[in-house]
Homo-oligomer: A and B are copies of this chain.
């Protein structure tokens, strides 16, 4: 069976006064309009959202149902920062089962409502309880991964900085980005150290935002305005939550597992991917995923970034949207936002950041310190 995306919606990422209901409805309405789909035709909705702890409203399925006037079958799914990708997976499963024909997927997070202390406390929960007891935070876990990657493969702070420079440059061309200013290598290297070797400009920001896609069964896709972009593979995998339970620090085993499943289902190899959105919550995360997804040998991502091969004009463009790093990272929205960007790239609607003649795209959405991962492959026909 073939399932296609016929509508996309995306709010501006960043700090906003809009509430979570408005953010969800804004992205959903855009996706429905893009597809030319009346709201009544939507059989079900899957919400990707990480935490109601950021704001004073939970039970989001009921909140979104209210906005639609009630009566929709709505499910929220969560697996930390990979919640959006997981929502897409569940929607694909539900259409495959025959229960629904047309399903909306919306990822959303309203992060700026919480105080800094609350935000730190919530994000610290990405670590296992044992890691938390030892003072580990979301950033320090990725700092450990970076330190080990430096030690094993000779990657340096400059390579990390180049990821930030590239992604800020791309984000400047994306009207929905949190940041629109470019940064230089020197600026990244001179920014405050958060958890060595990661500096402020190696980290994705605290953002609000939502993104939505409308999925349909191929049998009815001709009813919509836009040609479908097909979901041809989704892989999902999990790994131990604590870094100390993993065999190596320099790979994310869930990314390897999820991508193997996605490549198998789609009968594709990494070489056939024209463009990728990967989960650069920190610059080191982009480099590790480039390797784990098979775009280069282990340890060789530094060469790709040095040679500009992951630029929009390179042979394997990565994060043309600006990535989490510069487009922003409203947690639950991120996985769906990646899908929206790849759909734009495959439709040829990405304007100044368009990858030439992109036909096959990949999204890699990870949760926490990489303990869960969803890899999705999309194709234009």
Give me the interface of A with B, judged by CB distance under 8 Å. 19, 50-53, 56-63, 65-66, 69-80, 86, 89-90, 93-94, 96-99, 122, 125-126, 128-129, 132, 236-242, 245, 253, 257, 367-368, 371-372
Contacts and interface: CB of A to CB of B under 8 A. Distances in A.
Contact of A65 (B52, B66, B372): B372
Contacts of A75: 77, 79, 86, 89-90
Contact of A66 (B52, B59, B240): B240
Contacts of A132: 56-57
Contacts of A241: 59, 62-63, 65-66
Given A52-B53, A240-B70, A128 B253 contact: no
A93 B50 CA distance: 22
B62 A51 contact: no
A372 B59 CA distance: 9
Contacts of A97: 93-94, 96-98
Given A77-B76, A99-B96, A128 B63 contact: yes
Contact of A52 (B125, B237, B238, B245): B125
Nearest to A65: B238
Copies of this chain assembled into the complex: 2
A96 B57 CA distance: 33
A325 B112 CA distance: 37
A70 to B, nearest CB: 5
A87 B368 CA distance: 22
Contacts of A371: 59, 61-62, 65-66
B79 A78 contact: no
A30 B72 CA distance: 35
Contact of A57 (B93, B129, B236, B253): B129
B70 A253 contact: yes
Contacts of A93: 93-94, 97, 99
28 contacts: A19-B129, A52-B53, A52-B125, A57-B128, A57-B129, A57-B132, A59-B79, A59-B80, A59-B125, A59-B126, A59-B241, A61-B367, A62-B79, A63-B241, A66-B240, A66-B241, A66-B242, A66-B245, A70-B253, A71-B237, A71-B238, A73-B237, A74-B79, A75-B86, A76-B77, A77-B78, A90-B90, A96-B97
